[in-house]
Amino acid sequence: MDKRKCPIGVFDSGVGGISVLRELAALMPNEDYVYYGDSAHAPYGTKTLEEVQRLTLADAAFLETYQVKALVVACNTATSAAVGLLREKYADMPVIGIEPALKPAMSVKVHPRVLVLATPMTLREEKFRQLMRRYETEGEILTLPAPGLVELVEAGELSGEKLEGYLRELFAAYPAGELDCVVLGCTHYPFVRQTVQRVLGKRVMIFDGGAGTARETKRRLRETGLLNPQQGKGAVTLLSSSEGGAMVALERMLFEKY
């Protein structure tokens, strides 16, 4: 079997990882992808560490049955909770995680004021603490957990009054002009980027880790000789743990149109 022709496995707690899949498919359109959203168990970010580790290992084991050549953990929460466990278990396969895009946000100006928006678990875990320590002398880093936002995206609330009301309340302590950047540290959040921008004002720069993760995936595939030699557009298979087809339909809408 030519391993290069196997698909890339991409997963998340739900539909959020589609924001990463879009970046992957834009950068490497000839690759085949299998996406798995664990919407039946979303959100992960408010669960215990042990639960998220168990669910993350189950997601990867499910994708393994599709003979994937690499795993992209398109979930900041699962990455912070379990990327080490995955790398141990799948030592012969590239395992690429995602982390909040703090680096580009910290370089927009001298001593920026940056707000990192993520799930409670991502902000609590050591992986993010380490990342924060690396940049803390370069500016002011504020963190804001957003419990409930993943649920809104999973429900397809990507614009409108309910979402805007939630975000206005969430950002109430940060009036316009007080922030330079916002880092979307959860892969669900890029789908509400426009409303975040409207609530915080045009001046605030917004970053997410999707494109960086796609570039890192390409680099790892090249390094391991696993880039697909096939020409043309690859196949994208969308799957969900949620039964009934509605979540796969939302994944497709987010992948194709959003």
Hey, which residues are catalytic here?
Answer: 75, 186
Decide if residue 139 touches ligand DGL (CB under 6 A). no
Please give the residue whose beta carbon sits closest to ligand DGL in the complex.
45
Sign of CA dihedral 204, 101, 120, 34: positive
Decide if residue 44 touches ligand DGL (CB under 6 A). yes
Kind of pairing between the strands at 33-37 and 181-184: unpaired
CB of residue 14 vs ligand DGL: minimum separation in angstroms?
Answer: 6
- Between CA 157 and CA 178 the distance in angstroms is 27
Decide if residue 119 touches ligand DGL (CB under 6 A). yes
Decide if residue 184 touches ligand DGL (CB under 6 A). no
Decide if residue 75 touches ligand DGL (CB under 6 A). yes
Give the number of other Cβ atoms within 10 Å of residue 175's Cβ.
10
Residues binding ligand DGL: what is the number (CB under 6 A)?
A: 17
CB of residue 130 vs ligand DGL: minimum separation in angstroms?
Answer: 17
The partner residues of 118 in beta bridges, in order of sequence, read 145
- Between CA 210 and CA 150 the distance in angstroms is 17
CB of residue 75 vs ligand DGL: minimum separation in angstroms?
Answer: 4
Which residues have C-beta within 8 Å of that of residue 214, sequence separation ≥ 6? 20, 23, 24, 26, 27, 28
Of 128 and 171, which has the nearer Cβ to ligand DGL? 128
Decide if residue 76 touches ligand DGL (CB under 6 A). yes
Provide the mask over 187-216, with x wherever binding to ligand DGL is found by CB under 6 A and - wherever it is not. Answer: xx----------------------------
CB of residue 61 vs ligand DGL: minimum separation in angstroms?
Answer: 18
CB of residue 154 vs ligand DGL: minimum separation in angstroms?
Answer: 8
Strand order of the β-sheet with 113-118 is 140-145, 113-118, 181-184, 205-208
Candidate list 42, 116, 214, 226; residue touching ligand DGL; CB under 6 A? 42
Candidate list 13, 143, 213, 240; residue touching ligand DGL; CB under 6 A? 13
Contact 64, 93 (CB under 8 A): no
Contact 120, 185 (CB under 8 A): no
Q: What is the DSSP letter of 108?
A: S
In the complex, the residues that contact ligand DGL under the rule CB under 6 A are 12-14, 16, 42-45, 75-77, 119, 122, 150, 186-188
